[in-house]
Structure 1
Amino acid sequence: MVGALVGYLIGRSRHRSAIRRPVGPTVSELVQRLVHSSHSGVVVLNHFGDVVIHNPRAEALGLVRNRQVDDRARKAADLVIETGEVVEIDLSPLESRGGRSPEAVLGEVRPLGEGFTVVDADDQSDAVRLEATRRDFVANVSHELKTPVGAMALLAEAVLDAADDPVEVRRFTTKILREGNRLGTLVTELIALSRLQGAERLPELNTVEVDAVVRDALGRAQLVMESTGIDVTTDDDSALLVEGDRTLLVTALSNLLENALAYSPPGNPVSVSRKLVDGYVEIAVTDRGIGIAEEEQQRVFERFYRVDKARSRATGGTGLGLAIVKHVAANHGGQVKLWSKPGLGSTFTLRIPAHLDPPATAGADIKSADGRAGRTAVPSLAASLVPSKSDGAGTDHGGMA
């Protein structure tokens, strides 16, 4: 687009110069401004392959270095001069430069006439990464759906073979029910994740009571608590408020709780605490479970990633729980943080921007979030596991669910 406009303006400049000199900036000056202000990398070459004009973006994308154009672009320009046809070209860096350098640079070379060509390139890294993520997601979903469906088919055959044995029929049908429930949970969480990633418009954010979110999440996790024999302790009500969607926040906190319960040995308590830190409400879920190795902490929020695959399968985990938590936090303008040590446990902290209503923040209720104003907060396990810095000493993390 920019290259075509450059060619048009150059042609116009020749025509207008034969008539009269324009008032104000010359066409040549306007071309220079246009090229330098473009978001694309633009390079104009002569018939020798020398750089005539280029913009800073072309250098940032690696098209031009030390006034020399990328050799791939020069060879494409020679072909364009020879054929007169537009050539599409991949100008992606041959070696990773690290940091935020572009990974995929795609462009095209077009003729400008009289031996001149223009290279017009864009950074397509985001699109390439998105497509790779989509392919991985489809492959993972196919694999995850295939497992319970295949298991149910085999179990159904076993039921038919054992039709005359009520004990065996009951045993196999129980397994079918478990796999069916697992399949239903997987589909539900896939729909939720698709919604959070933009397939549907998210609901309008409202003022939500944090204490109500904690109560609802504890209610959802009650069956898991009873089946694992693990108690969940909480601090006192905080009267804190956030701007958000109550259902999504309850889902996120429930996933954190169920994750903590699934990865904790029987008899080791899990705790939930809440406080106000730098304009954010922090809801922390702490366990004394298996913990997460440092090299895995950056991956636990990936879809279908599991730290302990055997335990996750046994508990019916889908590998989507913490991916959902991450996206719920992001859609609320917040984040999730992780502190963990193998053998000591983990603390997942959901940080959501607080609703700072002046009358509420002025009273003792907000002060009670850190245990002052005459209230005694129930000490949580996080106090003994997590360093006392307000940033949670955490690393942006992922999940085990």
Structure 2
Amino acid sequence: MTVPAYLALSIGPLLIGGLVGYMFGRRRARRAARRPAGPTVAELVQRIIHDARTGVVVMNRFGDVVLFNPTAADLGVVVNNRVDDRARKAAELVVETGEMAEVDLTPAEAVRGRQPAAIRAEIRPLGDGFAVIDAADESDAVRLEATRRDFVANVSHELKTPVGAMALLAEAVLDAAEDEEQVRRFGGKILREATRLGTLVTELIALSRLTGAEKLPELTTVDVDAVVREALGRATLTLEHSGVEIATDGPSGLLVDGDRTLLVTALSNLLENAVAYSSPGSPVSVSRRLFDGYVEIAVTDRGIGIADEHHERVFERFYRVDKARSRVTGGTGLGLAIVKHVAANHGGEVKLWSKPGTGSTFTLRIPARRVVNGDKVLARVPVSGTEIDGGAL
């Protein structure tokens, strides 16, 4: 074989391969040019799964994890690339039957108060031996249902107590019909129980409106000093029987956007609470100030005080630090819960400082009335008929 022929046989395949590669490369380039810019469908699906709020796990027929998102790991459905045994067994059954299944994946530690408290999962077949697990954290729903059950049970108990007492007292009145003094005594007790029952129903309705879907009335400009005066007026009867005196600071001229009736109710509850837990002759004070864009109304007593472990729970419905004393004072256990929700519905909060043996201070904080002045938002604080700049909020 001559040298030219040898070179032709050696180089020829290389040239042909290069030409074919060039042609395929141009074809791929033309396809890429025609394809729209951006992620592919597969990439979009991957993103959706990755960012899903529920835990998503894809498994094959052998129980191996093919794909999962971070939420599945956060919920504990997948640990060290292994799926929860309960989910794996359910997935095997789903692949075998082709029917969807539901499984409870709540961790065993949840019974000891650890999080999350409840995980529910749906497992669906994907075909070709694959299954997808869709797990969600339903802890909030479980806690809400538990709260609802407790609330219904507490309401039933609280309503039964005065109703039962009124029935017994009515029987006593009938038995003592000839004794005018006894009839008067039992009649007074019936009146107190009826008043307590009416107060309880009224507060239940108020609390239901504050925590339910019913919208608050349209907010108006409310004079804080007028709220304090009206709340003090409501507490007059309580003060007459308690021997407690309430001291107040001078008029503040502060304004808030809110519902006057609800704000008066909240402050009245704080005052009645302070009086109820104060000994006769001890002082209770009410003060007002503008601080950090909020109007603060503080009610301070020198009563028995509240231990630290009860500070958060005193705002729960029907929670009582001293149940025996609450029965004596006639409290419903709803007053502070109403205060908390009134504050929240006004965009504010209620704070508590207390020390056993020293007393307590409950502070109702409501956003101050705002007016726009140029580029600044100012608190509107009328003083002696004029408005002054309350400072940028």
Identify the TM-score tier after normalising by the shorter chain.
0.7 to 0.9
Write out aligned runs for 1:90-109 (5 A).
90-96=104-110, 101-109=115-123
SS in 2 for 1:126: helix
Question: Quick one: distance in 2 between partners of 1:186 and 1:201?
Answer: 22
Question: Quick one: distance in 1 between partners of 2:189 and 2:381?
Answer: 54
Question: Quick one: distance in 1 between partners of 2:224 and 2:382?
Answer: 16
Task: State the Cα distance separating 1:164 from its structure 2 match.
Answer: 1.3
Write out aligned runs for 1:264-343 (5 A).
264-343=278-357
Task: State the Cα distance separating 1:56 from its structure 2 match.
Answer: 1.5
User: Is the 2:253–2:382 contact (alpha carbons within 8 Å) kept by the matching residues of 1?
Assistant: no
Q: Which amino acid aligns with 2:281?
A: G
Question: Quick one: distance in 2 between partners of 1:155 and 1:100?
Answer: 48
Please name the residue that 1:77 is paired with. 91
Tell me whether 1:31 sits opposite 2:45 in the alignment. Answer: yes
**CA 1:100–1:212: 2 relative to 1, 3 Å:** farther
Question: Quick one: distance in 2 between partners of 1:272 and 1:188?
Answer: 25
Q: Which amino acid aligns with 2:73?
A: E
TM-score (norm 1): 0.82
Please name the residue that 1:188 is paired with. 202
User: Is the 2:368–2:379 contact (alpha carbons within 8 Å) kept by the matching residues of 1?
Assistant: no
User: Is the 2:57–2:69 contact (alpha carbons within 8 Å) kept by the matching residues of 1?
Assistant: yes
Task: State the Cα distance separating 1:364 from its structure 2 match.
Answer: 8.2
Question: Quick one: distance in 2 between partners of 1:99 and 1:183?
Answer: 36
Question: Quick one: distance in 2 between partners of 1:108 and 1:215?
Answer: 58
* Root-mean-square deviation over aligned CA pairs: 2.3
User: Is the 2:110–2:118 contact (alpha carbons within 8 Å) kept by the matching residues of 1?
Assistant: no
Task: State the Cα distance separating 1:75 from its structure 2 match.
Answer: 1.2
Q: Which amino acid aligns with 1:162?
A: A
163-172 or 354-363, which moves further after superposition?
354-363
Question: Quick one: distance in 1 between partners of 2:207 and 2:68?
Answer: 43
Q: Which of 129, 140, 157 is the matching residue for 2:143? A: 129
Please name the residue that 2:177 is paired with. 163
Please name the residue that 1:370 is paired with. none
Please name the residue that 2:22 is paired with. none
Write out aligned runs for 1:52-67 (5 A).
52-67=66-81
Please name the residue that 1:352 is paired with. 366
287-296 or 195-204, which moves further after superposition?
195-204
Question: Quick one: distance in 1 between partners of 2:257 and 2:114?
Answer: 32
Q: Which ranges of structure 1 fall in alignment gaps of 5 or more residues?
A: 1-19, 367-401
Task: State the Cα distance separating 1:341 from its structure 2 match.
Answer: 0.6
Following TM superposition, the consecutive aligned residue runs of length 4 or more in structure 1 with deviations greater than 6 angstroms are: 97-100
Please name the residue that 1:88 is paired with. 102
User: Is the 2:107–2:116 contact (alpha carbons within 8 Å) kept by the matching residues of 1?
Assistant: yes
Q: Which of 215, 231, 235 is the matching residue for 1:201? A: 215
54-63 or 150-159, which moves further after superposition?
54-63
Please name the residue that 2:163 is paired with. 149
282-291 or 240-249, which moves further after superposition?
240-249
Q: Which of 220, 235, 238 is the matching residue for 2:234? A: 220
TM-score (norm 2): 0.84
Q: Which of 100, 103, 113 is the matching residue for 2:127? A: 113
Task: State the Cα distance separating 1:365 from its structure 2 match.
Answer: 3.6
**CA 1:248–1:50: 2 relative to 1, 3 Å:** same
**CA 1:82–1:362: 2 relative to 1, 3 Å:** closer
Task: State the Cα distance separating 1:291 from its structure 2 match.
Answer: 0.5
Please name the residue that 1:179 is paired with. 193
Task: State the Cα distance separating 1:100 from its structure 2 match.
Answer: 9.4
Deviations 1:202-255 (A, max 9, x none): 112222111111111111111111111211111111111112111100100000
User: Is the 2:247–2:285 contact (alpha carbons within 8 Å) kept by the matching residues of 1?
Assistant: yes
**CA 1:166–1:234: 2 relative to 1, 3 Å:** same
Question: Quick one: distance in 2 between partners of 1:169 and 1:363?
Answer: 56
Q: Which ranges of structure 2 fall in alignment gaps of 5 or more residues?
A: 1-30, 385-393
Q: Which amino acid aligns with 2:274?
A: A
135-144 or 311-320, which moves further after superposition?
311-320
Question: Quick one: distance in 2 between partners of 1:43 and 1:303?
Answer: 40
Q: Which amino acid aligns with 1:55?
A: N
Question: Quick one: distance in 2 between partners of 1:82 and 1:163?
Answer: 79
User: Is the 2:255–2:381 contact (alpha carbons within 8 Å) kept by the matching residues of 1?
Assistant: no
Deviations 1:165-220 (A, max 9, x none): 11111111111111111000000000000000014221122221111111111111
Identify, as 1 or 2, the structure richer in strand: 2
Q: How many residues align?
A: 347
Q: Which has the higher contact order (CA 8 A, sep 6+)?
A: 1
Write out aligned runs for 1:386-397 (5 A).
none
**CA 1:352–1:133: 2 relative to 1, 3 Å:** same
